[in-house]
Structure 1
């Protein structure tokens, strides 16, 4: 009976926390279903349907017997070639189809990149605030995350000096994300180059998440660190997917691009974990990446309009400071000045407590900074309809105006 005292769940899996962004989204949807007029700023998901021509390709794929069977674990050969072509077109980075692995969404690409690169004890430099999935993937691989914390005073950008101060002889990789989720920060071409050169000089790997490459605004320019710094050579792994560019979050198609040995190893892992990504979704993704970028251009216009509205409205709230995001579709305001003040008989001491109060009292769902490694902030996705956005931030402003 000795087994009775053993924990039911492994320590490795018990240590994983639920995705905070998905949890907030689920709670908001549950309240909505119960009849409460909740407005959700939680999930990072375009509010547009997937373009028709992409859906048509999927319908066609359903009728094609070839796609009813297993295909190569690493992806349909045609899709891998199309991703290599798209990468050359969009970021000037020359890769071969054999350097591409098609994954079940961007998250699987993140997980497989770290599982393939890290041994227990290897350190990864991660700029905070960071997306909630990165720490879990690094931890599962036995890696050690070293935070490089940024704040609103620099627009959430990390400097080479900060990165160098965090580097040790155990540092194996830098995780580089621009445009950033959750902050919307975009590094200038000069900053990308300086950081890439620094990584190359110290023999570090760079894992770069480029999923928001097409969502930049104003004068901001997306720069791929792989192209900007050729001397990084074959120590770059690029993560990307169709979710944000083509409003395809639910289709679950991402990819990992890297040197052949890394891609081969990650493909071996995937061959045991999930085999091939759904062929119907892969065929839809093929149509997406080989088509033009007009769908994302239309979405970008709407996002840009909402971005300007949300930043203006947030900065009008006393105690809220929101730098202008230049990419993705998130605003990341500081609410540090509001914490500890009284609102409707409560004194929230943390952004997590304040978020809970806002959900209950104003029926607005947002994700607290705790989820992204920097307490005292909120992430608001502005990928929701214009009317909802204005109504949601107005409710927020009205409630926070009561703080005293």
Structure 2
């Protein structure tokens, strides 16, 4: 049996499985809360992007956006799948280097890069820096002189003025954004003129990212139209032809029955077609196309397991069921009002008898994981599995209420491996100093 709309089977004991393993046994072995990833699904998602480009004979790079979930083990899987990698901080870059990820396949993003970050990137020979503002250009010039490095590959991030159909906090391609150079007010062209013949910079092309959790392709097509409108002008005025066009990521996944994401190959096929049309019109060589999937590679591959604790029934209003985690291991419901689906993992085939609200254990009224969940009769100690928590759960976890971070386990073909240890209380206070 497979849970409706989710690729996770139920065994003959009525227990949810992932990667060929019983979730109840995983919880017994590693404790809860517990993040569990099916690595075979990660590989399948990555290959759906890579293989579509190969099938269509288009030069491309698929860069895993590591902000979705970064750990040494995850980046090793990305390396095995021959992905490139996006990082947005020294910490993410450090993790990549510790994972022995090929430096030439790493791209550095960020709207407020420090001189230390740029220096670290250049010293380690990463493949590309995505320039987000004029300050980036100044810092690259400074670091280039300090290190004696030249011809540093860069892309320019631009905001094409496209408003994607998503939550306002994750719209990044509209004009009023902290990211990138605006195409509408001339800043992008000004930056282009600074970088085109810069002695320290090799300007490879343009980058844009219009948002996240996007379920249609129209926004990406409009963004491509805006980029090529600018590129056509630069071709006429400056004889510039881009080597690379990076159209970002943001491809949506299914969290609940309300979500209807497209197959990943459809996004790729329609992006390629949009670019090809403009290339033919301009009569220029086809640029290498880069994309940056993050959530769409790991989001639906992960579940989070919790143990059910207290229950509070308010007659005529609702029944609260509390778990041993919450906003400290998944901030998205509190931050974005994100919605999730879940199942009682040890009673996955039992008949539904009730509707409850899943509360976290943090001391916040807003610490609610799911407001209305259909469940069978539940008891203290039952196991809750929340689906599609592979992206922006572990990576956005906090120590609020001094709660330690949960462990992460990878499962693949019936085998399990601990890849991030559960924090201890000693870990939580390790950087505290006394004041006596």
Compute the TM-score of the two structures, normalised by the length of structure 1.
Answer: 0.31
Q: Which has the higher contact order (CA 8 A, sep 6+)?
A: 1
Larger Rg: 2
TM-score after normalising by structure 2: 0.30
Which has more helix, going by share of residues? 1
Higher fraction of strand: 2
